[in-house]
Chains A and B, each alone.
Chain A
Amino acid sequence: MTVPAVGTAMKVINNKTRGVFNLELDRMTGIVAEVEGTGIDSLEYNITRFVQVLRHLGVRVSLAETMDAMAALARVDLLSRGQFRGALRACLAKSSREAGLFNQAFDLFFTTAEEKLKRQKLRKEMQEERERLISGAQQELNGVMEDWQGELPEKIALTDMQLETYSLLPEEEKERMKEILERMKANPVNNPGELINRVLQSSLNYWRYYMMKNLKEKEGSRIPAEAELTGDEELDEVIQSVAAEFYHTPGDRIKHQDMESLDDGDLPRITALINHISSQLALGMSRRYKRSSRPVAVDIRRTVRRNIKYGGIPLELKFRSRRKKRPGFLLICDVSASMARYARFVLQFMYGLSSAVKEIESFIFSENLERITPFFRLNDNFSGSMTEIVNSSRQWGKSTNLYQSLKTFKKLYGDTASRETIVFIVSDTKTVAPGEAARLLGDLRRKCGELIWLNTLPAIEWEKQPQIGVFRKIADMYPCNTLSQLEKAVRRHVLGRYA
């Protein structure tokens, strides 16, 4: 998975919004002819690649379905674009959302040779522009180092990404960096190359993060929060364009956008959506678990069989087996400064669940941990509960100490976790004392049934955070920066997965 460079990403977005290419029938004939003309497996090859695009857009396509699609194509008129598309969609897209993604991807992927050529050119230009920026940055930095005294650092070993970030910096920021280099020249230390690299790299990484974040805020809905790139340029281009344009209905956009960048203007819609999702889940939970308390039904077939020996008089009754016992749920939600926006939505979600399902204990933490279950019970609306939580809690917007928080949990509420308990931790993992926290986390893991960590950092950033590796060894970790991911993770662990 590659991260699109800042500049490239911006350009792709600008260029790709141009949109969907409509084709008349005769052009389509051309395409199919082209596809078919290049050899017997060429159609298959294209379908396989198209399936790859769909998969990376989050459409789950199995091998069996790909084969169904091929079988379907054999039964329609390939010269009719409508039939061709209909046949593929019927076999490859299995929800309204997937059908929407499919339609856009189809239009971009199965396009004319001219369009493809145009896009190829555009791609090449973007690539060249990027290379130009990178080599410019390299030269500029080398220039500063030219008259280096004494032991010369081999080269300034920056990655292309870092060099690109440098080239995109505002002028005064570039000057500032060069100045730092100059000062280091005047004041040689033991291992200057190493030091310079580290200073440069960390500040460039910071800038990159900052720029990406700004871009995200500005382009909010356009950034594909869940789409993953393949590394194959031609496919990636389709993936990026679709992802950038897909989330056009407000509900979809909200569900798949990073919660942090959700717009306050959308709040009523977000609230409605969260309520909808949580009530659906609550319904599922009560369906799945409620029957355990009801009287169980007589199993007629086994009863009849059992009572043959009594001449059919049902002396011994046989019962259907009981349903699963209902597990308890513990939610531990990080409400520190870096999590504030996520926490608001996650808590609202949990509020929705709590109102329908009683076995949920909720906690918030930052510097320390506090139980908030009573607040959810007290009020009959979320904003009332939320206001009271924020007013009476000392945790809101502080820094994070998971260690202290887990210590408090263990001491005061340790009994609430048992083998039947599913524990959810929602946090971006940015805590002080991660090592000690991990130790207590391990204790908790051993006490409860399942320990699930919903991480609000996008998965692509996980590798950069060493503590994540440690926590992941203990808890099952899932990315959770969009409502859709939150829903999926909770659904999976609360309602279970099968088939």
Chain B
Amino acid sequence: MNISLNDLKKSMEREGYISEDDLAVTVYLALTLQKPLLVEGAPGVGKTEIAKVLGRVFAAEVIRLQCYEGLDENKALYEWNYQKQLLKIQIMKDACARDDIEKDLFDEEYLLERPLLKAIRTEKTVVLLIDEVDKVDEPFEAFLFELLSDFQVSIPELGTLSARKIPIVVLTSNGDRDLSDGLKRRCVYLYIDYPDIDKEVRILQTKVPEAGERLRLEVAAAVNFIRANLDLRKQPSIAESIDWARALMALDADFLGVDSISRTVNTLLKNRDDRMQLMSGNVLHDLMHRLNSVGWPEKEHDCAGCGHGHEGHK
């Protein structure tokens, strides 16, 4: 892949993906070393999005293999189009010798390409997204590992098919299950953590540009506070803070207050207990204090009835 680290970072940003240096270097290395990129991290931190954005950056088709329990080679790699084969047999049954029919039947013509085969058989470079690879069974993971080692597959009736162009491979995992050492060894590894306030502000800026500067900052700071200080069933993801900012916009809120929070909190926290935890007096009070200190000038937060004036800013 002919691109400099700097250009990659800029292009990703142009396509709406905010990255810090560590992330950009890792993606860059996967591209230049032509190795699969394995991305792990909590739900909604932008793992899948990396593949999509790479597709846009390189104007390449994104071929997605969504993994699930029980996924097998028939669904992932290829299947024989047996209806077509049966028809063919019917047509040919009197005309040819059995051996000839058999040879004809297992020709590329009857092959149904599934995502993996498609990814290595396409003439142009594609992005192969193997999403949530931790969901597959171990034997299938071992099969994937082989495929990713030499980018060729063998189909008993056709022999070995190798990649026309090595695809850009992105694997994502929520860490449900430890992946095998073999697979991990093949890959360049990226762990995405929840973003810091600054990164999240920038993400909000690209995803919810209609939100004002103050709202973006306060949403990012509030989400950061919530992730760091509450013991939640499910931490709010980036996708959820984007949704939250949008919901706040729909209310025409341009900053966070107890009222606007309580009317929109279900877009941020999906679990009822989590919402109750946030909306309890003390937590909300602390949150308001935190927002007061993030440095937005001349603000007047209503403060969960804490009954004293705030200084506004530092």
Contacts and interface: CB of A to CB of B under 8 A. Distances in A.
Contacts of B190: 90
A90 B89 contact: no
B138 A288 contact: yes
The size class of the interface chain A forms with chain B is 35 or more
Contact of A71 (B33, B88, B181): B33
B265 interface: no
Contact of A312 (B28, B89, B142, B183): B89
Contact of A95 (B35, B40, B80, B87): B40
Contact of A65 (B93, B101, B185): B185
Contacts of B177: 280, 284
A333 to B, nearest CB: 25
A458 B37 CA distance: 37
Given A82-B22, A280-B177, A94 B184 contact: yes
B187 interface: yes
A159 interface: no
Interface residues of B, number: 50
B90 A498 contact: no
A76 interface: yes
Nearest to B27: A90
Interface in A271-285: 280, 284
B182 A499 contact: yes
Contacts of A127: none
B84 to A, nearest CB: 10
B177 to A, nearest CB: 7
Contact of B185 (A64, A89, A96): A64
A76 B102 contact: no
A91 interface: yes
B38 to A, nearest CB: 7
Contacts of A77: 5
A93 interface: yes
B188 to A, nearest CB: 5
B51 to A, nearest CB: 17
B150 interface: no
A86 B22 contact: yes
B137 interface: yes
B79 A300 contact: yes
Interface string A225-236: 000000000000
Contacts of B142: 498-499
Interface string A61-102: 010110010011001110000110111011101111001000
Nearest to A92: B189
A126 interface: no
Contacts of A312: 85-90, 93
Contacts of B178: 95, 491
A94 B187 contact: yes
Contact of A300 (B38, B69, B80): B80
A86 B21 contact: yes
A118 interface: no
Interface in B5-59: 5, 21-22, 25-26, 28-30, 32-33, 35, 38, 40-41
Contact of B21 (A82, A305, A308): A82
A39 interface: no
Interface in B286-313: none
A99 B191 contact: yes
A72 B33 contact: yes
Interface string A421-435: 000000000000000
B38 A76 contact: no
A466 interface: no
Contact of B138 (A90, A96, A300, A495): A495
A176 interface: no
Contacts of B79: 300
Contact of A308 (B38, B98, B138): B98
A496 interface: yes
A47 interface: no
Contact of B93 (A75, A280, A305, A311): A311
Contacts of B198: none
A473 interface: no
A491 B178 CA distance: 10
A294 to B, nearest CB: 11
A89 to B, nearest CB: 8
Interface string B71-115: 000000001101001111110010000100110011000000000
Contact of A68 (B26, B28, B35, B101): B35
A464 interface: no
A311 B187 contact: no
Interface string B122-146: 0000000000000001100110010
A83 B87 CA distance: 59
Contacts of B101: 308
A194 B178 CA distance: 54
B25 A86 contact: yes
Interface string A302-315: 01110011011000
B33 A68 contact: yes
Given A86-B21, A86-B26, A305-B102, A499 B40 contact: no
Contacts of A68: 33, 35, 188
Interface in A246-282: 280
B252 interface: no
A94 B185 contact: yes
Given A95-B178, A99-B189, A76 B29 contact: yes
Contact of A498 (B5, B180, B188): B180
Most chain A beta-carbon contacts within 10 A, residue among B29, B30, B82: B29
B182 A90 contact: no
A95 B41 CA distance: 9
Contacts of A304: 80, 82, 85-86, 105
Contacts of B184: 94-95
Contacts of A411: none
Nearest to A300: B82
18 contacts: A68-B33, A72-B33, A77-B5, A83-B5, A85-B22, A87-B25, A89-B26, A90-B25, A90-B190, A94-B184, A94-B185, A95-B191, A284-B177, A288-B137, A301-B82, A305-B105, A499-B141, A499-B181
Q: Which 10 A-B pairs have the closest CB atoms?
A: A499-B182, A312-B89, A86-B25, A94-B184, A311-B93, A312-B86, A90-B26, A499-B180, A82-B21, A90-B188
Given A90-B188, A312-B88, A312-B93, 5 more contacts: A86-B25, A99-B189, A284-B177, A308-B98, A496-B138
Interface of B: 5, 21-22, 25-26, 28-30, 32-33, 35, 38, 40-41, 69, 79-80, 82, 85-90, 93, 98, 101-102, 105-106, 137-138, 141-142, 145, 175-178, 180-185, 187-191
